Structure 1
Amino acid sequence: MNSKPPLPLRPLLTTQPRFPWHHFTMRFTSSPRGARLARRLAGKRLHAWGVPYGSDAHDALTLVVSELAANAVSHGLVPGRGFRLRLSAEGTTVRVEVTDTRGECLPALTEPSDELEGGRGLLLVAALTDCWGWYPREDGPGKTVWTWGPRRSSGRTQVGA
């Protein structure tokens, strides 16, 4: 069974947020429009927390949100149910969680096919962040894919899959 890991204790961002702790949670429709809105709101929230637009950290984190939201729409879709985005910042660490309602389609890194357009989202997430993983959804069917970042070390870690 997978467990929900704690936030890392070491700093990951190069800029210090204005406040020591932030939290943002919102539900979105499982559609391309919902994924786009999640990315935009995450970008605005990160900027308000002291991760400025155009910085490497901001660009990496908004891309991670975009990829995880797109995966929730593509692979976690259950008709009539949306997905949830949760951002947490403690000190200089940002954690991204995307929860969908489909538990049987589990995230895994795979080699992308040259013939297919998709299949590279989790590879990007793994390349841009220090650690990622998933755990079963606590309040119903589904799963939560989480990560923290952006990447500051050379090692790649996946926990809980």
Structure 2
Amino acid sequence: MTCLLLPPHPASVSTARRWAAPLLPADVRDGVVLVVSELVTNAVAADQAADATDDIEVELVVDRPRGHVVLAVTDASDRPLPPPPAHVPAEEDSGRGLLLLDALAEDHGWVPRPCGGGKCVWARFRCACTPLPTGPTAPRHLECTDAA
């Protein structure tokens, strides 16, 4: 499990993408990075709307033995995650994040934050993870976990 704390500021979106990309298996990298971008964008907007000052938490778990990656992003909004829209007009600049989440993730959802105030949006992606090399050359940040 790897975690990143970010201020609720628009610049955090690109920081999250750059942080996540090297941690991910190649076969899911582009899709997960795209969803990271969308979820962090939504979290920044929710935190700014709530005038929240708490950091946004982005968590990645690469579970190679089970063949999946789990992404979780917190935000300050207590509102449930809405269903993806049926249609977004081409001229709209936003509104596609939940469509992308629905299309790219194997499963996704949200839970209220246990400490109160806000929620955690999560997504699970199926990957063809290959085992890490053994020995001192295995990077620590990509070690297998038994997390959900």
Query: What residue is the counterpart of 1:111 in the other structure?
Result: 86
Residue identity matched to 2:14: R
Gaps of 5+ in 1: 1-22, 153-161
Task: Using the TM superposition, give the Cα deviation of residue 26 of structure 1 relative to its aligned residue in structure 2, in angstroms.
Answer: 1.7
Q: Deviations over 1:71-92 (max 9, x none)?
A: 1112343322331101112222
User: Structure 1 residues 38 and 61, CA, compared in 2 at 3 Å: closer, same or farther?
Assistant: same
Give how far 1:145 is off: 0.6
Change (3 A) 1:151 1:123: farther
Q: Map 1:1-161; keep pairs closer than 5 Å.
A: 23-46=1-24, 51=25, 55-77=26-48, 78-79=50-51, 80-91=53-64, 92-104=67-79, 106-114=81-89, 115-150=91-126
Aligned length: 123
2:69–2:127: 8 Å Cα contact kept in structure 1? no
Call closer, same or farther: CA 1:112–1:131 in 2, change over 3 Å.
same
Give unpaired runs (5+ residues) of structure 2: 129-148
TM-score if structure 2 supplies the norm length? 0.74
Give the alignment's TM-score, normalised by structure 1.
0.68
The RMSD of aligned alpha carbons is 2.0
CA distance in structure 1 between the aligned counterparts of 2:101 and 2:127, rounded to whole angstroms? 10
The match for 2:137 is none
Runs of 4+ in structure 1 deviating by more than 4 angstroms, as ranges, are: none
Contact kept? 1:112, 1:118, Cα under 8 Å: no
CA contact under 8 A between 2:4 and 2:59: conserved in structure 1? Answer: yes
Equivalent-residue separation in structure 1 for 2:30 and 2:55 (angstroms): 25
Q: 1:85 to 1:107 in 2, by over 3 A?
A: farther
